[in-house]
Amino acid sequence: MHAGARTKMPKGLELLTLGIDLGGSKILTAIVNPRGEILSSDESITPATKGREAVIQSILNSTHHVLKKASVAISEIYAIGVGVAGISNPETGILFTSPNLPELRDVPLRDIMQERLGKKTFVINDANAAVLGEFYFGAAQGAHNFIYITLSTGIGGGIVIDGKIYTGAIGAAGEVGHMTIDDNGPICNCGNRGCWETLASGTALAREAKHRIKEGFRTSILEYAEGDVEKVTAQVIHSAAKHGDSLAKELIAQTGYYIGVGLANLINIFNPELIVIGGGLSNIGDMLLKPAFKTAGERAYKEAFQAVRFASAGLGRNSGVLGAAAFALKEVRKLHCK
Ligand SMILES: [Zn+2]
């Protein structure tokens, strides 16, 4: 499974796994070989408000679709891995709660999938699935102590310690986006105040720009948002910054600063060898990340900062399905070795 130990098998006898990335807005499904190559994939909308059976039916439809596309029978699938947005217990495969899938509460997802498809199934948190994707096939290959963060509308993450994903007591570890950065900061979706994602995410960046525009600040940002303040997004602000808008540049640098404060905390707590950064917001690149690394360097322990390497996530949107598939393969092999 690991990069150095590739399975050599004639075509058709490979251990194929089915990876599923179940998110609040979309379901990504893929058939994956042990080298992390995707044989076929499918994307569908998550019927999040239509109830549990509708979501499960969508997963099954998507599964049949990828099997057909790759001309693979379900009997040829070795195991199934499901990465799901929310808190689930990897041991029991029960999804407790998912903020983006409110209809799915206390669902025995693993058992349902096993029953419907007749294949061993393993359930993991979606951020942890993405971490494993990067670990086995992406930017974190060969690293033993690393942290993965996704800078997006929120901030997600995962922690690998001594080559193993750290899931905590109930599978809720790695919620890096909800560490408090400013105790008087903006209210977060989680109910707390001043969480990292309220200050350093794409949503935070857009909120600050909207605020300044409404105050009457002179900026060209609106021109990139069809003149509608509600259409101001991180992407819009980035476009304005690339064309020299000083407010856009200032706000991106400020977001970078807050990213750096959180990075310094993570570096001091975990002393990672590597921090992998993914998510749409990180595509802004140097304008955002240079101030982030500068701030992290100023705030973290010098030796710990010097020991850390930063890398961009390598798998993009496929990290979750690839990681879920890899997780399933690893877990099912463990069972066979017992
Ligand atoms: Zn929070």
Ligand 1 mean position, distance from CA 232 (Å): 22
The CA 178 to ligand 1 mean position distance, Å, reads 4
Residue for token digits 């310094």? 264
For ligand 1, a single-atom ion, the residues with CB < 5 A are 178, 188, 190, 192, 195
| Tens digits of residue pLDDT in 50-67 | 988 999 999 999 999 999
pLDDT of 299 reads 98
| pTM for this model (two decimals) | 0.84
Q: How far apart are CA 160 and CA 175, in angstroms?
A: 13
Which of these ranges, 21-30, 174-183, 191-200, 258-267, has the smallest mean pLDDT?
A: 21-30
Distance CA 266, CA 155 (A): 13
Does the pLDDT value for residue 312 go beyond 90? Answer: yes
175 C-alpha to ligand 1 centroid (Å): 9
d(CA 320, CA 308): 24
Q: How far is the CA of 189 from the centre of ligand 1 (A)?
A: 6
Q: What is the pLDDT of residue 296?
A: 98
CB neighbours of residue 89 within 10 Å: 16
Q: What is the pLDDT of residues 97-120, one digit of tens each?
A: 776 777 788 889 999 999 999 999
